[in-house]
Amino acid sequence: MWWSESLGLFFAVVSLVVPIYFLCGTILIWLGMRHEAAHNIPAPMFQARDLYGNNQRLADHKGEVVLVNVWATWCGPCLSEMPKLEHLYQIHKNEGLVVFGLSDQDPATQRKGVATVPVTYPLLTYDGQIPGLYRYVAGYPTTFVIDRRGILQPAISGDQTLEKVDNTVVTLLNRQP
Protein backbone atom coordinates (compact mmCIF):
# COMPACT_ATOMS: atom_id res chain seq x y z
CA MET A 1 0.00 0.00 0.00
CA TRP A 2 2.86 2.38 0.76
CA TRP A 3 4.16 2.29 -2.83
CA SER A 4 0.80 3.16 -4.36
CA GLU A 5 0.23 5.99 -1.86
CA SER A 6 3.65 7.47 -2.67
CA LEU A 7 3.00 7.18 -6.38
CA GLY A 8 -0.42 8.83 -6.00
CA LEU A 9 1.09 11.67 -3.97
CA PHE A 10 3.81 12.13 -6.60
CA PHE A 11 1.26 12.42 -9.42
CA ALA A 12 -0.90 14.79 -7.37
CA VAL A 13 2.07 17.10 -6.78
CA VAL A 14 3.16 16.95 -10.41
CA SER A 15 -0.37 17.66 -11.61
CA LEU A 16 -0.35 20.83 -9.50
CA VAL A 17 3.23 22.01 -10.07
CA VAL A 18 3.47 21.58 -13.84
CA PRO A 19 0.45 23.76 -14.71
CA ILE A 20 1.60 26.43 -12.24
CA TYR A 21 5.08 26.39 -13.79
CA PHE A 22 3.68 26.81 -17.31
CA LEU A 23 1.22 29.46 -16.16
CA CYS A 24 4.03 31.50 -14.60
CA GLY A 25 6.12 31.14 -17.75
CA THR A 26 3.22 32.22 -19.93
CA ILE A 27 2.58 35.25 -17.77
CA LEU A 28 6.27 36.28 -17.93
CA ILE A 29 6.34 35.92 -21.72
CA TRP A 30 3.13 37.95 -22.02
CA LEU A 31 4.58 40.60 -19.72
CA GLY A 32 7.81 40.70 -21.75
CA MET A 33 5.90 41.09 -25.00
CA ARG A 34 3.87 43.88 -23.45
CA HIS A 35 7.04 45.66 -22.32
CA GLU A 36 8.61 45.33 -25.74
CA ALA A 37 5.48 46.76 -27.35
CA ALA A 38 5.47 49.85 -25.10
CA HIS A 39 6.27 53.03 -27.00
CA ASN A 40 5.38 56.72 -27.20
CA ILE A 41 5.52 56.95 -23.40
CA PRO A 42 8.20 58.47 -21.17
CA ALA A 43 10.98 55.94 -20.64
CA PRO A 44 11.06 54.68 -17.06
CA MET A 45 14.10 56.06 -15.27
CA PHE A 46 16.69 53.68 -13.88
CA GLN A 47 19.84 53.75 -11.84
CA ALA A 48 22.21 50.80 -11.86
CA ARG A 49 25.81 49.93 -11.13
CA ASP A 50 28.08 49.07 -14.01
CA LEU A 51 30.69 46.31 -13.90
CA TYR A 52 33.13 48.64 -12.15
CA GLY A 53 30.73 49.76 -9.40
CA ASN A 54 29.93 53.15 -10.93
CA ASN A 55 26.36 54.41 -10.80
CA GLN A 56 24.77 54.91 -14.20
CA ARG A 57 21.53 56.87 -14.43
CA LEU A 58 19.24 57.29 -17.39
CA ALA A 59 18.36 60.77 -16.10
CA ASP A 60 21.96 61.86 -16.79
CA HIS A 61 21.41 61.41 -20.54
CA LYS A 62 18.61 63.83 -21.32
CA GLY A 63 18.81 65.08 -24.88
CA GLU A 64 20.66 61.98 -26.05
CA VAL A 65 19.51 58.87 -27.90
CA VAL A 66 19.82 55.91 -25.54
CA LEU A 67 19.84 52.20 -26.36
CA VAL A 68 19.26 49.79 -23.49
CA ASN A 69 20.35 46.39 -24.76
CA VAL A 70 19.10 43.51 -22.60
CA TRP A 71 21.53 40.63 -23.01
CA ALA A 72 22.99 37.54 -21.32
CA THR A 73 26.29 35.70 -21.56
CA TRP A 74 24.51 32.43 -22.43
CA CYS A 75 22.79 34.10 -25.43
CA GLY A 76 24.75 33.54 -28.63
CA PRO A 77 22.89 36.20 -30.65
CA CYS A 78 23.51 38.69 -27.81
CA LEU A 79 27.27 38.11 -27.93
CA SER A 80 27.37 38.24 -31.73
CA GLU A 81 25.57 41.61 -31.83
CA MET A 82 27.74 43.27 -29.18
CA PRO A 83 30.66 44.11 -31.53
CA LYS A 84 28.16 45.65 -33.95
CA LEU A 85 26.58 47.71 -31.17
CA GLU A 86 30.08 48.76 -30.11
CA HIS A 87 30.82 49.86 -33.69
CA LEU A 88 27.55 51.82 -33.84
CA TYR A 89 28.37 53.41 -30.48
CA GLN A 90 31.88 54.42 -31.59
CA ILE A 91 30.57 56.01 -34.79
CA HIS A 92 27.74 57.98 -33.15
CA LYS A 93 28.73 58.63 -29.51
CA ASN A 94 29.90 62.16 -30.32
CA GLU A 95 26.49 62.85 -31.90
CA GLY A 96 24.67 61.96 -28.68
CA LEU A 97 24.31 58.17 -28.74
CA VAL A 98 24.51 56.29 -25.45
CA VAL A 99 24.44 52.50 -25.21
CA PHE A 100 23.87 50.50 -22.05
CA GLY A 101 24.13 46.72 -21.88
CA LEU A 102 21.83 45.40 -19.13
CA SER A 103 22.10 41.90 -17.73
CA ASP A 104 20.77 40.18 -14.63
CA GLN A 105 24.05 38.30 -14.31
CA ASP A 106 26.68 39.23 -11.73
CA PRO A 107 29.71 41.33 -12.77
CA ALA A 108 32.17 38.40 -12.76
CA THR A 109 29.96 36.37 -15.09
CA GLN A 110 29.45 39.34 -17.40
CA ARG A 111 33.20 40.08 -17.55
CA LYS A 112 33.94 36.45 -18.39
CA GLY A 113 31.20 36.43 -21.04
CA VAL A 114 32.47 39.50 -22.85
CA ALA A 115 36.16 38.62 -22.62
CA THR A 116 36.14 37.70 -26.32
CA VAL A 117 33.88 40.58 -27.36
CA PRO A 118 35.10 43.62 -25.44
CA VAL A 119 32.91 46.71 -25.50
CA THR A 120 33.48 50.23 -24.21
CA TYR A 121 29.86 51.11 -23.51
CA PRO A 122 28.71 50.53 -19.91
CA LEU A 123 27.52 47.05 -18.99
CA LEU A 124 25.01 47.27 -16.16
CA THR A 125 23.93 44.90 -13.43
CA TYR A 126 20.59 44.73 -11.66
CA ASP A 127 22.25 46.31 -8.63
CA GLY A 128 20.17 49.45 -8.38
CA GLN A 129 16.70 50.54 -9.36
CA ILE A 130 15.72 48.82 -12.59
CA PRO A 131 12.02 49.05 -13.53
CA GLY A 132 10.31 45.87 -14.67
CA LEU A 133 10.03 47.20 -18.22
CA TYR A 134 13.76 46.60 -18.71
CA ARG A 135 13.90 43.42 -16.61
CA TYR A 136 11.23 41.28 -18.20
CA VAL A 137 11.59 40.70 -21.93
CA ALA A 138 10.08 38.00 -24.11
CA GLY A 139 13.35 37.21 -25.86
CA TYR A 140 17.07 37.92 -25.93
CA PRO A 141 18.52 40.18 -27.15
CA THR A 142 16.07 43.05 -26.83
CA THR A 143 17.02 46.68 -27.35
CA PHE A 144 14.90 49.46 -25.92
CA VAL A 145 15.25 52.72 -27.84
CA ILE A 146 14.80 56.08 -26.11
CA ASP A 147 14.74 59.25 -28.18
CA ARG A 148 16.24 62.64 -27.28
CA ARG A 149 12.99 63.67 -25.57
CA GLY A 150 13.14 60.64 -23.25
CA ILE A 151 10.29 58.87 -25.07
CA LEU A 152 10.35 55.12 -25.67
CA GLN A 153 10.39 54.09 -29.30
CA PRO A 154 9.39 50.57 -30.38
CA ALA A 155 11.79 47.99 -28.92
CA ILE A 156 13.82 45.88 -31.29
CA SER A 157 14.37 42.19 -30.63
CA GLY A 158 15.61 39.07 -32.32
CA ASP A 159 17.58 38.65 -35.53
CA GLN A 160 16.48 41.90 -37.18
CA THR A 161 18.14 43.92 -34.45
CA LEU A 162 21.26 45.48 -35.94
CA GLU A 163 20.04 46.82 -39.26
CA LYS A 164 16.89 48.17 -37.66
CA VAL A 165 18.83 49.64 -34.72
CA ASP A 166 21.25 51.37 -37.08
CA ASN A 167 18.44 52.93 -39.13
CA THR A 168 16.53 53.96 -36.01
CA VAL A 169 19.60 55.51 -34.37
CA VAL A 170 20.50 57.57 -37.43
CA THR A 171 16.91 58.81 -37.76
CA LEU A 172 16.65 59.75 -34.07
CA LEU A 173 20.08 61.42 -33.96
CA ASN A 174 19.08 63.64 -36.86
CA ARG A 175 15.94 64.82 -35.00
CA GLN A 176 16.31 67.60 -32.51
CA PRO A 177 14.62 67.30 -29.12
Q: What CATH number is attached to the domain comprising 127? A: 3.40.30.10
Q: For a pLDDT cut of 90, what percent of the chain falls above it?
A: 45
Under a CB-based contact definition with an 8 Å cutoff, are residues 70 and 134 in contact? yes
Q: Could you list the pLDDT tens digit for every one of the 177 residues in the chain? A: 577 777 777 766 667 666 665 555 555 554 445 545 556 789 999 999 999 999 999 999 999 999 999 999 999 999 988 999 999 999 999 999 999 999 999 999 999 988 888 899 999 998 888 888 888 787 789 899 999 999 988 877 765 556 777 788 888 888 866
pTM, two decimal places = 0.79
| Cβ density class 35-57: b for 16+ within 10 Å, e for less | bbeeeeeebbebebbbbeeeebe
Please tell me the total count of domains within the chain: 1
Residue 22, domain extent: 2-174
